[in-house]
Chains A and B, each alone.
Chain A
């Protein structure tokens, strides 16, 4: 499986990651190499094997839906790069 430049840029956009020209080239090469290695998984017949998402499975962990102490607005916003009042401030989303 060879990942070309266009595919690398498509994945980068899905990951919201802007890449330099050098990174695009490097990742095309390195990811292709790793994906070629992954081909070994196709040797195994897994048609009747269920997938494992968590090795130690816990079913439906519930708790009472009650309020409890939590962060104050100042604590929650303590690390905000930009804050306006009690809100996180962001750059424009729509033109």
Chain B
């Protein structure tokens, strides 16, 4: 096995036994990036020198007797998390040369643990999109088929993980932006409960939906990354003041007797038949492991798309008001007065999808339409959450497809807005309800990975990890690597 194919826990074992050094491991990944990133285009920037320096520091800490599962492990970070002194672009011209003066809390925790920061990965502009086609810089390619999208918005992190351009990666999930690209790229992707990981330093898209999470080659790696990033942070008043459990403890317990809900509305008419088949077969695996399958109805599933596309753009329109050309980021050079500074900076700095969502959100919040759109959507959000509350009164977790289809061709859906938005139809509800979920590979169709998601109630990450881990142990989809 090549070093770049290792998981976090495999690499940690070799590092702990002194069979490899972090410098060797990091160099192997830099070589891999040099060999394949021209094709995959996962990274917006690769921190060659800094990564090797981080690795050398990690080797010194280990030599001094320190140990941590992430000490010396090379990670990629989605370019929506601030990194002190390192460009943080959010995939936007607006922040093309922006060097933050502080690290995001999640980054501080990863650095304290000794992780090596390989670089910043591509994303749809301000995380708005499902393909990375909305990045202002370039589109990332799916490592399984370079003519296809990797999914998004954390498409760079998912592609880098699948392609062996990092050991694992950090992403963010506002409506499926970790789970959907994980599904398209055949890796594991964990979206923690809202408030489980601090959002401080995560550039805000929709503040009531955003959450930092992990992408890895298997479930154990997601657990290790969550373990390091989770916890209360005084800098994020919405972060939970709850103790962080040991996520690996009990992860290998049998799922015999566990109740898994199968939400019938998530097996939609028109979904790709191979996706439905793969997830149904995964349900058979769970049954053979002794889990009890329970038919569940989530009657408001069809309203998730509308609810999300009112609320997320409304919050985005408020959050992105900060890009005014005055304090940081792009500033239109030829404006005559402050109003022109605002209008031109935003016209020239934002791309089409971001402008579209700002317009949509501004409309939904404007006088005369607030009740009909924003307030209405907030009420439907309550109904969606109640669907989940009723489900979790009966079952321990839900199992469903992550996306109704496998990765499509670059350019295939970019011109049909509603078709593109529908790609996220099965992931949006998790964020609206604030709960947690993990997507793991569960099959292949025509050489492309299929993903399923395990959704758990708020703060039930240990349960979803355990359920996902049981499937992983019984199957070998997570061991497949793209033919690059």
| With contact pairs A41-B306, A53-B208, A92-B337 given, residues A8 and B359 touching in the complex (Cβ less than 8 Å) | yes
Indicate if the CB atoms of A27 and B359 lie closer than 8 Å. yes
Q: Which of B344-402 contact A (CB under 8 A)?
A: 344, 346-347, 350, 352, 355-356, 358-360, 362-363, 366, 372-373, 375-383, 385
- Bound complex: CA of A80 vs CA of B378, how far in Å? 37
Inter-chain contact B359/A51, CB cutoff 8 Å: no
* Contact, CB under 8 Å: B360 / A14: no
- Whether B475 sits at the interface, judged by CB under 8 Å, is no
The answer, among A17, A33, A35, for a CB contact under 8 Å with B343, is A17
How many Å lie between the Cα of A37 and that of B165 in the bound state? 40
Q: Which residue of A lies closest to B335 (CB)?
A: A91
* In the complex, B243 has a CB within 8 A of chain A: no
When distances are taken between beta carbons in the complex, the residues of chain A under 8 Å from B247 are: none
Q: How far is the CA of A23 from the CA of B359 in the complex (A)?
A: 11
Q: B375 touches which one: A23, A51, A79 (CB < 8 A)?
A: A51
Known: A52-B382, A80-B327, A91-B340. A31 touches B238 (CB 8 A): no
B336 CB → nearest A CB, Å: 7
Given the known interface contacts A37-B418, A41-B380, A56-B240, the answer about A30 and B356 at a Cβ–Cβ threshold of 8 Å is yes
Contact present for A52 and B195 (CB under 8 Å): no
Residues of A within 8 A of B237 (CB): 58, 61
Question: Interface size class for chain B?
Answer: 35 or more
Partner of A58, one of B195, B338, B343, B352: B195
Interface residues of B in 317-344 (CB under 8 A from A): 317, 321, 324-331, 335-344
Residues of chain B within 8 A of A3, CB atoms compared? 363
Q: Measured between C-beta atoms, what is the minimum distance from B298 to chain A in Å?
A: 14
* A23 and B328 in contact, given A41-B303, A46-B383, A58-B238 (Cβ under 8 angstroms): no
A residues with a Cβ closer than 8 A to B are 3, 8, 11-12, 14-20, 23, 27, 30-31, 33-35, 37-38, 40-42, 44, 46, 49-56, 58, 61, 63, 71, 75-76, 78-82, 88, 90-93
20 example contacts (A-B, Cβ-Cβ < 8 A) are as follows A12-B359, A17-B359, A23-B352, A27-B356, A44-B380, A49-B380, A51-B379, A51-B382, A53-B208, A54-B434, A55-B433, A55-B458, A56-B195, A58-B240, A61-B238, A63-B234, A76-B101, A79-B327, A81-B326, A90-B341
Interface string of B287-314 (1 = CB under 8 A from A): 0000000000000101101110110000
Contact of B363 among A31, A46, A50 (CB under 8 A): A31
- Expressed in whole angstroms, the Cα–Cα distance for A3 and B385 within the complex equals 31
List of B residues within 8 angstroms of A92 by Cβ: 336-338
Contacts of B327 in A (CB 8 A): 79-80, 88
Cβ B418 vs Cβ A55 within 8 A: no
Complex Cα distance, B344 from A12, in Å, reads 12
Residue B193, interface by CB 8 Å: yes
- The answer to the question of B470 belonging to the interface, with a C-beta cut-off of 8 Å to chain A, is no
**Residue with the highest number of chain B CB atoms closer than 10 Å, among A61, A71, A81, A92:** A81
Residues of chain A lying within 8 A (CB to CB) of residue B380: 41, 44, 46, 49
In the complex where A23-B355, A90-B341 touch, is A40 in contact with B306 (Cβ < 8 A)?
yes
Q: A41-B303, A91-B337 are in contact. Are A34 and B418 (CB under 8 A)?
A: yes
- Taking CB atoms, residues of chain A closer than 8 Å to B194 are 54-56
**In the complex, are the beta carbons of A46 and B373 less than 8 A apart?**
no
Which single residue of chain B is at the shortest CB-CB distance from A3?
A: B363
Q: B99 interface residue, CB < 8 Å from A?
A: yes
Smallest Cβ distance from A82 to chain B, in angstroms? Answer: 7
Q: Are B99 and A50 in contact (CB under 8 A)?
A: no
Residues in B with CB closer than 8 Å to A56 are 193-195, 238, 240, 434, 458
Contact residues in A for B376 (Cβ distance below 8 Å): 41-42, 46
Contacts of B195 in A (CB 8 A): 56, 58
Minimal beta-carbon separation of A22 from chain B (angstroms): 10
B418 CB contacts on chain A under 8 angstroms: 33-34, 37
Chain B 192-237 residues near chain A, CB threshold 8 A: 193-195, 208, 234, 237
A53, B207: Cα distance in complex, Å: 10
- B362 and A52: CB pair below 8 A? no
B417 is an interface residue with CB less than 8 A from chain A: yes
Question: Contacts A11-B363, A56-B458, A81-B326: A17 and B346 contacting too (C-beta < 8 A)?
Answer: yes
B98 within 8 A of A: yes
| A23–B381 alpha-carbon span in the complex (Å) | 31
CB-based contact B382/A50 at 8 Å: yes
| Interface core residue of B237, B359, B435 (most chain A CB under 10 Å) | B359
Specify the chain B residue showing the minimal Cβ separation from A28: B359
Q: Does B465 contact A (CB under 8 A)?
A: no
Chain B residues within an 8 Å CB radius of A50: 379, 382
